[in-house]
Amino acid sequence: MSKVENIDCLIIGSGPAGYTAAIYAARADMNPVMYQGLQPGGQLTTTNEVENFPGYPDGVTGPEMMMQLQKQAERFKTDVRSGFIGKVDFSGPIHKCWSEDGTEIHAKTVIISTGAAAMYLGLESEQKYLKMGGGVSACAVCDGFFYKNQETVIVGAGDTACEEAHYLSKLCSKVTMLVRRDEFRASKIMEDRVRNTPNIEILVNTETVEVLGDDMGVTGARVINNKTNETMDIPCTGFFVAIGHKPNTDIFKEFINLDETGYIKYEKPGTSLTNVPGVFVSGDAADHVYRQAVTAAGTGCMAALDAERYLSALEG
């Protein structure tokens, strides 16, 4: 028979949202238990430099920032555990969750902070420079500053790709936008915006063959026209991918209301409430608009405060 733990607060997933929720929940004597998930620290652990999070005037690496947040959560006695939650049952008043090692957890409150994973092209060269931190990124707002007055390439054809290309155009000397088909998926207003920006060049029917580079980082992109099979090399120091994100919410879909893409729906705008009483959400598992560390941290705070109020009402 599996071991059963009864706790007040379970936090599923780490990162800025999860750790902030843990800090607030622990300081409120909720004795939170956190399972870090498959990627402890979340997406920021793949970010080499973080310069836009308040309180770090000289910047900080993503992994270092996550270690500091973990230490802060543990300082207030958060039980931080490696591993992940693989199954949940939110059908009754007690929220049942199972960890990978078979532990059955009965939690009065659950805070979902599982985040979302950026989708990449899957090229070996792309992954090489992504891991190196040398020129591949899925967030122009996060990393665009590092390519000021340089040439960049962005892949994508939706609203997000257009928005990020336009953002990069204000910083970079040139932005080359690679569109796989002969038309955009973006809204007309967003398409017109990039088409009318002088330093954005749009290449349609174009796919990436390889991200080029050296030991220092990215130096260019080899692309192919999928109509003519003609290849060409585009010089660039930054290669941005904007083809979407996948929220890590599959294990909740039987119980939690999700949108068509898989993001968790807020039951009440301006809160962290889901459709299941006692289950709250923070960070990129619900946020498909901002997707920033600082906004994730803010929603982690909200989730912990909402969970504390829920517990108080139960005990009152």
pLDDT, average across residues 119-135: 92
CATH of domain 4-117+246-315: 3.50.50.60
Q: Are 123 and 210 in contact (CB under 8 A)?
A: yes
Instruction: Give the confidence band of 175 by pLDDT, cuts at 50, 70, 90.
Output: very high
Q: What is the pLDDT of residues 4-50, one digit of tens each?
A: 999 999 999 999 999 999 999 999 999 999 999 877 777 777 666 78
C-alpha dihedral (164, 280, 22, 113), degrees to nearest 10 = -40
Q: Is the pLDDT of residue 203 over 60?
A: yes
What pLDDT, on a 0 to 100 scale, did the predictor assign at position 181? 95
d(CA 57, CA 189): 37
What's the CATH fold of domain 120-241?
A: FAD/NAD(P)-binding domain (3.50.50)
What proportion of the chain, given as a percentage, has pLDDT over 70? 98
Q: What are the tokens at 210?
A: 């390889």
pTM of this prediction? Answer: 0.81
pLDDT in tens, 251-281: 999 999 999 999 999 999 999 999 999 999 9
In this structure, the number of other CB atoms found within 10 A of the CB of residue 276 comes to 17
Q: Which two tokens stand for residue 225?
A: 């026209």
**Number of helices and strands in the chain (H, E):** 7, 17
Domain boundaries, the chain: 4-117+246-315, 120-241
Quote the tokens at residue 22: 């843990």
| Positions marked catalytic | 139, 142-143
Tell me how far CA of residue 136 lies from CA of 68, 180, 211, 246, 280, in angstroms. Answer: 25, 19, 9, 18, 33
Instruction: Quote the CA–CA distance of 305 and 68 in Å, as a whole number.
Output: 22
Q: Dig out the tokens for 71 from the structure.
A: 């230490």
In the prediction, which pLDDT does 315 show?
81
Query: Do residues 120 and 126 touch, judged by C-beta distance below 8 A?
Result: yes
Task: Give the largest Cα separation in the chain, rounded.
Answer: 71
| Residues comprising the chain, all counted | 316
306, containing H or E segment: helix 293-315
Q: How confident is the model at residue 81 (pLDDT cuts 50, 70, 90)?
A: very high
Mean pLDDT (the chain) is: 94
How far apart are alpha carbons 92 and 262 in whole angstroms? 23
Whether pLDDT at 298 is above 60? yes
Angle subtended by helix axes 62-75 and 15-27, to nearest 10: 20
Cβ–Cβ under 8 Å, residues 26 and 73: yes
Give the confidence band of 221 by pLDDT, cuts at 50, 70, 90: very high
Check if 4-117+246-315 and 120-241 are the same fold: yes
Reported as a pLDDT band with limits 50, 70 and 90, residue 289 is: confident
In angstroms, the CA 243 to CA 208 distance is: 13
Q: Note the pLDDT tens digit of each residue in 41-79.
A: 777 776 667 888 999 999 898 889 999 999 999 999 999
Q: How far is CA 125 from the centre of its chain?
A: 22
The first and second tokens of residue 70, run together, are 């973990």
The dihedral formed by the CA atoms of 198, 133, 128 and 174, expressed in degrees to the nearest 10: 10
